Amino acid sequence: MDVIELETILAEEQHHPHYLLQMLRRVQEKENYISPSTMAFFAEKLNLPLTKVQGVVSFYSLLNTTPRDYHILFSDNIIEHLQGKEQLMQLLMSKLGIEQGKVRADQRVCVENTSCIGMSDQGISALVNGLTITNLNEQRISEMVDLIEKKVPLSQWSPAWFKVKNNIQRKDQLLNTNFVAGSVLQYVQTQTTDQIMETLKIAAIRGCGGAGFRLDSKWDFCRKTPANERFVVCNADEGEPGTFKDRVLLQNYADLVFEGMTVCAKVIDAKQGFLYLRGEYRYLLDDLEKTLAKRREQQLLGKAILGDSNFNFDIKIFMGAGAYVCGAETALIESLHGNRGVPRKRPPPFPVNVGYSGKPTVVNNVETFSLAVKALMMGGENFAKLGTEQSHGTKLLSISGDCEKAGIYEFPYGVSVREVLEACGTDFSTVQMVQNSGPAGNSLAPEDFERKFAFEDVNTTGSIMIFNKNRDILEVVQNFANFFVHESCGFCTPCRVGTSIIKNLVTKVRKGRGSNVDLKEMQDLSILIRNAAHCGLGMTATNHISDTLKKFPQLYRARLHNSESLHPTFDLDGALEDARQITHRQDANAHL
Ligand SMILES: Cc1cc2nc3c(=O)[nH]c(=O)nc-3n(C[C@H](O)[C@H](O)[C@H](O)COP(=O)(O)O)c2cc1C
Ligand code: SF4
């Protein structure tokens, strides 16, 4: 990239060090890599140490430092893995004559794995130079090889390949909303902030990003924290494997999300908001920018919203660059500052006290902001009538795996696991396990199927992956263990080293070389990592190990290498009972 182009990026990103990641991402998009001279350029212009810029580049998995024309990243989601992703990837690499992760000698192409790209309802998928291609099959792979060898630019590849379907299968209150952009803003202009807060308090919306913290409390803490500036952040990082509900909201209901952020800005008196959009959802960016531009034209964003000179607020879209940990709100704020996404130490302080730029900040999930709008449209009392006592409203579920109709399902809280499985066309008798809330969540066995999705029972972030009896659960566990090794930010030892040891133990047991002592080691380590990890990623990284050991011990036992003769005195059942007690106590902490 020449200096003039780099200067343009710098100017468009306001020469602001907080936008370093945005600058780097734009260079990556243009050139498919970031050269040493580009890093030196930004270091000099932003007055940052070169090591800081290099550190940021090395942290994010969608940024590269070696040249290539085509960068192909296969989504390593377990659902796609079980659909044959590995075979397709091998086919592509053999046709291209390359090894995984190595750039071909002619610098044309590199093929690698990446964590779930949020398309597990769309067949096998990949990112090619940052853009999503779905429904990969042998035919597409052959055509892709042809296009690469003929150096055909991505803009000339078949547009059909880049189509992302919504797959909305069941709508309820939220997805049935007949929403006119600005209508809720007009309504809140007739209310005091106390009145708005009163409605939200009655609605008692619980956050949809995992922890279920009440929206009204969060907004209230933020507005009451003394400050001269406050910020609104929408968390659209959606990195939990198997989740794609926020993708659909942003694709079809973006006005609802932006309206929710703008109402929040009015309540907490913020002038600036950020939509933190995961890098893997690059294909959504242009349409989202158009929606924002339209809202500015309609006086729903910008200066003097709806003619009120005291109401000024705008939203910038900030793109992530491939790091699951950046979904954790303090890591997300670090990333917004242009840093490596390493979670902050907490509590205290919480982002509502010390957030973006050190100012009070509300961070809410995409779905949570949409629900705020819905509650204001319906009225707090009506909203609170939906769902259960402690979980009001409805929940979006992203369902994939062994079912007839993968996609998005909206249900009132309180729906049972069985009802959900029936709705998506699952033959009940064939289900072996349902993984709720992704690898960080919990593994449900058939005896759990009468339980309810609600904060008082099975808390869900919305990722539901179904595995039938033909699936090897230890293959699933291996995929999850690999995911956490890949996504650990490396800051603290229990998580960085512990997840690697767990992964190796799972491999050992899967290969039939493990003993019951290895199972005990897995269980002990799971507890140690959970208790000693610095952030929510580590605290939840071994839930799948504890859960599957607890619910499917026979699957592990069947793989052990002649366990009785190796360690006849070791009490596996006793160890698993200890684990049952401990995991039971820890369930409530899931996904902080
Ligand atoms: C490792 C990790 C990843 C997370 N990823 C997300 C995410 O992708 N989206 C999200 O909304 N919350 C995510 N969270 C939860 C956020 O930290 C935070 O609780 C949430 O954004 C708050 O919004 P809510 O109150 O609307 O749920 C994650 C947490 C952890 C520990
Ligand atoms: S627990 Fe893992 S992700 Fe979190 S700070 Fe430690 S190393 Fe990083």
For the stretch 294-309, pLDDT in tens is 999 999 999 999 999 9
Residues of the chain with CATH 3.10.20.600: 394-470
Q: Is the CB of 529 under 6 A from ligand 2?
A: no
Tell me the CA–centroid distance for residue 309 and ligand 1, in Å.
34
DSSP of 349-364: --TTTS-GGGS-EEEE
Rounded distance from Cα 355 to ligand 2 centre (Å):
19
Q: Does domain 178-383 have CATH number 3.40.50.11540?
A: yes
Task: List Cβ neighbours of 220 (8 Å cut-off, separation of 6 or more).
Answer: 197
Query: Looking at residue 561, what is its pLDDT?
Result: 82
pLDDT at 592 over 50: no
Helix (H, G, I), strand (E, B) or coil at 430: helix
Pocket of ligand 1 contains residue 210 by CB under 6 Å: yes
Quote the tokens at residue 509: 């047991």
Q: What is the mean pLDDT of residues 549-555?
A: 95
User: Please, what's the b/e burial string for 230-269 (b: 16 or more CB within 10 A of its CB; e: otherwise)?
Assistant: bbbbbbbbbbbbbbbbbbbbbbebbbbbbbbbbbbbbbbb
Select 472-592's CATH number: 1.10.3720.10, 1.20.1440.230, 1.10.3080.10, 3.40.50.300: 1.20.1440.230
State the Cα–Cα distance between residues 218 and 231, nearest whole angstrom: 13
* Mean pLDDT along residues 37-49: 98
Q: Which atom of ligand 2 is the closest one to the Cα of 496?
A: 7
Distance from C-alpha of 279 to C-alpha of 60, rounded to nearest angstrom: 10
- Write down the number of H helices and E strands in the chain: 25, 14
254-268 and 215-224 helices, crossing angle to 10° = 40
Separation of CA 492 and ligand 2 centre (Å): 5
Range of lowest pLDDT (93-97, 394-398, 574-578): 574-578
537 in ligand 1 pocket by Cβ < 6 Å? yes
Q: Where are the beta strands (DSSP E) in 57-159?
A: 70-75, 109-114, 126-128, 131-133
CA of 327 to the centre of ligand 1 (A): 5
Q: Is the CB of 462 under 6 A from ligand 2?
A: no
Asked if the peptide bond before residue 49 counts as cis, ω within 30 degrees of 0, the response is no
Please report, in angstroms and rounded to a whole number, the separation of the first and last CA atoms in the chain: 42
Determine the atom of ligand 1 nearest the C-alpha atom of 535: 31
Report the separation in Å between the CA atom of 34 and the middle of ligand 1, taken as the mean of its atom positions: 29
Task: Give residue 584's pLDDT.
Answer: 45
- CATH 3.40.30.10 in the chain, residue ranges: 70-165
Average of pLDDT values for 32-40?
Answer: 97
Tokens of 272: 């600036």
H/E stretch holding 548: helix 543-551
- Alpha carbon of 583 to those of 55, 461, 471, 537, 544: distances in Å? 36, 19, 25, 16, 11
State which of 324, 329, 332, 534 you would mutate to test the pocket of ligand 2, scoring each by most atoms of that ligand within 8 A of its C-beta: 534
Res. 31: pLDDT tops 90: yes
Give the ligand 1 atom nearest the CA of 487. 1
Which ligand sits nearest to residue 538's alpha carbon?
2
Residues of the chain with CATH 1.20.1440.230: 472-592
For the cut 60, the answer to whether the pLDDT of residue 589 exceeds it is no
Check if the beta carbon of residue 477 is closer than 8 Å to that of residue 548.
Answer: yes
Q: Tens digits of per-residue pLDDT, 573-586?
A: 555 554 455 444 34
Q: How many whole angstroms from 394 Cα to the centroid of ligand 2? A: 32
pLDDT at 571 over 80: no
| Ligand 2 centroid from CA 537, angstroms | 6
Alpha-carbon gap, residue 463 to 439, rounded angstroms: 9
| Residue range(s) occupied by CATH 3.40.50.11540 in the chain | 178-383
- Give the pLDDT score at 478: 98
Q: Any idea how long the chain is?
A: 592
* pLDDT for 346 beyond 90: no
Q: Is 346 in the pocket of ligand 1 (CB under 6 A)?
A: no
489 lines ligand 2 (CB under 6 A): yes
Hey, whose CA ends up nearest to atom 5 of ligand 1?
327
Tell me, in angstroms, the distance from the centre of ligand 1 to residue 235's CA. 7
Cα(438)–Cα(60) distance, integer angstroms: 21
pLDDT in tens, 522-541: 999 999 999 999 999 999 99
What's the chain's Rg over C-alpha atoms? Answer: 24
The burial class, CB within 10 Å (0-12 / 13-18 / 19+), for 403 is buried
Buried b (16+ CB within 10 A) or exposed e, 180-191: ebbebbeebeee
Alpha-carbon distance of 392 to 372, in angstroms, equals 12
Q: How far is CA 397 from CA 239, 309, 406, 438, 440, in A?
A: 15, 40, 10, 12, 16
Contact between residue 377 and residue 177 where contact means Cβ atoms under 8 Å apart: yes
Ligand 1 atom nearest to 329, measured from its CA: 17
The dihedral over CA atoms of 60, 63, 64, 69, expressed in degrees to the nearest 10, equals 150
pTM for the structure as a whole: 0.94
The mean pLDDT of 543-553, rounded to a whole number, is: 96
The token pair that represents 542 in the structure block: 């071994």
Average pLDDT, the chain: 94
Beta-bridge partner residues of 369: none
**Is 3.90.1570.10 the CATH number for 394-470?**
no
pLDDT value of position 23? 98
Q: What is the pLDDT of residue 588?
A: 36
Ligand nearest to the CA of 498: 2
| Coil vs helix vs strand at 452 | strand
Q: List Cα–Cα distances, 343 to 170, 240, 327, in angstroms.
A: 36, 17, 10
Give distance in angstroms: CA of 532 to centre of ligand 2.
Answer: 10
**Cα–Cα separations (whole angstroms), residue 228 to 95, 360, 438, 517:** 59, 9, 39, 57
498 C-beta closer than 6 A to ligand 1: no
Q: d(Cα 225, Cα 460) in Å, to the nearest integer?
A: 30
DSSP 8-state class, residue 290: H
CATH architecture of 70-165: 3-Layer(aba) Sandwich (3.40)
- Residues 398-404, mean pLDDT to the nearest whole number: 98
CA dihedral 120, 122, 124, 128 (to 10 degrees): -100
What is the helix (H) or strand (E) element at residue 314, kind and residue range? strand 314-319
